[in-house]
């Protein structure tokens, strides 16, 4: 990628991050989830600016999803807390939430706002925080906006696995089949997945997550039924968490090359808005 193209990508990330933060973070937000990845760096940059302008809650608590995001929170002069230390926001409701809103990056987002996360290997904590949030807002550049998962992201589904028996998990993953049905068609494109143990950079051996586990990157081609694929992988013993996020995101913000910003809203959120 040329330097000019790289600059456009970074500008688009920054635009999406700033726009999402400006819409969803103000002085009423008491607990904020901070995701992981390169785009989240710009979200933190905007939070610093809002803090200087006294536009954040004076006792804002930030929940990190990785070692990286915890360092970003600390360097920004914000307060980091663990998810388990937070009380429930609305004890009287049926759904649990302890985080007002979480802003996180994504590797790819489909037309239903299902997402593939974590090229950075933090999807276990990212999913824990997203699941405990009233709202998950994704931010990314234009390269991550797809109709179908696997259309643009070709590095596979990140699957966090126990180091104990990871080869057995790999074999089971590679024996999965697309399970075509007359009504919905196959769940994914390939006849069988290909799973590779993610190797570390500037360190001999595999990547080790913040939780002490390994990551298998599982290539299946295009994913036609994301919830079914997520469930099938999660059912394999030894799988800790799957980097497919289905039904969690409320919005996705994409920065474009021309400086414009696109916000897409999940079908579930649109339905709720129409009912109100």
CB atoms under 10 Å from CB of 138, counted, come to 29
Helix 38-52 to helix 3-24 angle, to the nearest 10 degrees? 50
CB atoms under 10 Å from CB of 116, counted, come to 27
DSSP calls for 33-99: EE--SHHHHHHHHHHHHHHHTT-S-TT-EEEESSHHHHHHHHHTTPEE--GGGSPPS-TTSSS--SB
Q: Is 49 one of the catalytic residues?
A: no
From CA 187, how far away is CA 182, in angstroms rounded?
12
Catalytic residue among 88, 108, 126, 196: 126
The DSSP bridge pattern shows strands 115-116 and 136-141 to be unpaired
How many H-runs (helices) and E-runs (strands) does the chain carry? 7, 14
Residue 221: both structure tokens together:
């081609």
**Cα→Cα distances 225→28, 32, 49, 96, 184, Å:** 37, 31, 40, 27, 8
From CA 69, how far away is CA 76, in angstroms rounded?
10
Give the active site residues: 126
């Amino acid at each position: 990628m040329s330097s000019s193209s790289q600059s456009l990508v970074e500008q688009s990330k920054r635009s999406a991050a700033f726009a999402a933060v400006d819409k969803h973070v103000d002085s009423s937000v008491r607990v904020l989830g901070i995701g992981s990845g390169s785009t989240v760096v710009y979200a933190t940059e905007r939070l610093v600016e809002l803090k200087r302008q006294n536009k954040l809650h004076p006792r804002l608590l930030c929940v990190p999803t990785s070692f990286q995001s915890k360092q970003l929170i600390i360097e920004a002069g914000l307060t980091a807390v663990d998810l388990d230390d937070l009380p429930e926001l609305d004890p009287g409701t049926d759904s649990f939430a302890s985080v007002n809103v979480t802003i996180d990056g994504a590797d790819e987002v489909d037309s239903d706002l299902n997402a593939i996360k974590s090229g950075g290997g933090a999807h276990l904590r990212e999913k824990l925080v997203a699941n405990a949030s009233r709202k998950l807002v994704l931010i990314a550049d234009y390269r991550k906006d797809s109709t179908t998962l696997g259309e643009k992201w070709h590095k596979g589904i990140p699957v966090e696995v126990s180091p104990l028996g990871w080869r057995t998990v790999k074999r089971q993953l590679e024996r999965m089949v697309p399970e075509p049905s007359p009504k919905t068609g196959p769940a994914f494109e390939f006849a069988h997945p290909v799973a590779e143990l993610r190797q570390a950079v500037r360190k001999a051996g595999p990547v080790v997550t913040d939780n002490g586990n390994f990551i298998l990157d599982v290539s299946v081609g295009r994913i036609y039924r994301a919830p079914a694929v997520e469930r099938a992988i999660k059912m394999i013993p030894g799988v800790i968490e799957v980097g497919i996020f289905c039904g969690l995101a409320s919005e996705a913000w994409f920065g474009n090359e021309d400086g414009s910003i696109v916000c897409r809203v999940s079908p579930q959120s649109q339905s709720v808005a129409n009912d109100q």
